[in-house]
Amino acid sequence: MTMESTSSAGVIAQFQKYVIGNYTRYPVCLTRGEGSLVWDAEGRRYLDFFPGWGCNLIGHCPPRVVEAVREQVGQLIHVPNTWYTKAQGELAKALSERTDFGGQCFFCNSGAEANEAAIKLARLHGQPDKRYKIITTLNSFHGRTMGALSATGQPKYHAGVEPLLAGFKYVPFGDLAAVEKAIDAETIAILVEPIQGEGGINVPPDDYLPGLRRLADERGLLLMFDEVQAGMGRTGKWYAHQHWHVQPDVVTLAKALAGGVAAGAMIARPAIAEKLKPGTHAATFGGNPIACRAALATIETIESEGLLERASWLEGQFRARLVALQSRTPLIREVRAKGSMIGIELSSPGAPVVQKCLERGLLVNCTHHTVIRLLPALNLPEDLLEEGCAILEDAIVNYPQ
Ligand SMILES: Cc1ncc(COP(=O)(O)O)c(C=O)c1O
């Protein structure tokens, strides 16, 4: 095997021939990362306000994670779930202890897989009385596998691959009356993101999650929170729903769970989790020792560096700057933020802002056509925050007419 080229152009040429073109990619080949910075094959430095699509919550190559993974690969890379490993047990304990409901964990490798597990668990739970329907929300995002995709309330992602999995009803996010109306005799669960991420950083009204809990209790439904994007401390609590003092029955995690290493988890109340008996569900790589050690090192980093507290500080810094900017330009419709989940809704498409930022060495994302989405690392240093905000502000103020 030869490495034919290390220039960005050489790598891109290889992709054009050998990699399926299902992603829109920028013409940049990244080779190295450290904290909130990444470098490309030509040595150009970029400041990353959207590290790893939300997976690098504690920055690129976090030292504790690097160390834990290095140590683990020399000991044991993979064993299937027919055996016990210390790391998986320790991670399950760490995640469970950080819930308020003493959940038990199932491990997988991605957010979609975690949601697939939740969908199956809900169906198994509802099986005795033939209940299988799940209420989800419009503008939600739960993943690309057929079950998670069917749960996703965005027709644009369904186009061309129907028929979907049966049994999902979509209601507007934040609307309790709509949920109540959608419940019927076959409904078994409600699945929502506590804060919608891909849908544009939508923070619900304060009575929403408590209201969902009340409805779920009254109607005997499972309340399932997809915390794939909002969880693992991003909003200043381990689980975003904890801001509203609500206890769900099921939580799903992925993205930031293992500091950038692929990992996913579903956490469920023990009385419900017991429905996943041997043979009902599995993931070959799920809970492998590398991912579990990386996740444990991630939790240790967040705790020892006070990063939960720093999430609120980051929110304050970004909010203050962006609200001040809003008063200078009608382009900004609304600023929405919870911890390091930040959305800037524009009155025009966001793509030109993303492009301008990229040209000036800042990586940001646009979701829902008009929302600039930032998911900065919790340990983003103050000088880089300043540097990035100055570039972003300039790109917004000088929006191409
Ligand atoms: C809330 C939420 N759930 C699920 C997913 C799917 O995760 P994955 O891409 O790891 O399958 C995402 C991905 O963006 C997400 O934001």
- Quick one: which of 313, 365, 98 has its CA closest to 227? 98
* CA–CA dist 126, 376 (Å, integer): 39
Distance 148 CA to ligand 1 centre (A): 9
pTM over 0.85? The answer is: yes
Cis peptide bond upstream of 194, omega within 30: no
Structure tokens at 283: 């993931």
- For atom 16 of ligand 1, the residue with the nearest CA is 229
CA distance 196 to 200: 7
227 lines ligand 1 (CB under 6 A): no
To the query of whether residue 168 is one of the catalytic residues in this protein, the response is no
pLDDT, residue 4, reads 52
Distance from Cα 20 to the centre of ligand 1, integer Å = 20
Write phi, then psi, for 222 (nearest 5 degrees): -85, 140
pLDDT digits (tens, 9 = 90+) for 161-176: 999 999 999 999 999 9
Query: What confidence tens digit (pLDDT) does each residue in 272-312 have?
Result: 999 999 999 999 999 999 999 999 999 999 999 999 999 99
pLDDT at 90: 98
The CA-based angle 198-137-21, given to 5 degrees, is 40
Please check the confidence at residue 100 and state whether its pLDDT lies above 90: yes
Is a pLDDT exceeding 80 seen at residue 6? no
Residue of 53, 109, 142 with the most ligand 1 atoms within 8 Å of its CB, for mutation = 142
User: Does any ligand 1 atom lie closer than 6 A to the CB of residue 142?
Assistant: yes
Instruction: State pLDDT tens for residues 192-209.
Output: 999 999 999 999 999 999
Reported as a pLDDT band with limits 50, 70 and 90, residue 401 is confident
Other Cβ atoms closer than 10 A to 300: 14
DSSP letter for 191, please. Answer: E
pLDDT at residue 65, as a whole number: 98
Tell me the DSSP string of 195-230. SBSTTT-BPPPTTHHHHHHHHHHHHT-EEEEE-TTT
Query: Distance (Å, rounded) from C-alpha 68 to C-alpha 191?
Result: 34
- pLDDT of 2 strictly over 80: no
The DSSP secondary structure of 64-84, one letter per residue, reads HHHHHHHHHHTT-S---TTS-
266 lines ligand 1 (CB under 6 A): no
pLDDT of residue 400: 82
Query: Stretch 181-185: mean pLDDT, rounded?
Result: 98
Exactly one of 49, 107, 141, 225 is catalytic; name it: 141
Alpha-carbon gap, residue 113 to 136, rounded angstroms: 17
Query: Active-site residue 225, yes or no?
Result: no
Q: Cα 332–337–342 angle (5° rounding)?
A: 70
Q: Is 284 exposed, middle or buried (0-12, 13-18, 19+ CB in 10 A)?
A: exposed
The rounded distance, in Å, linking the Cα atoms of 354 and 362 is 8
Q: Which pLDDT score is estimated for 52?
A: 97
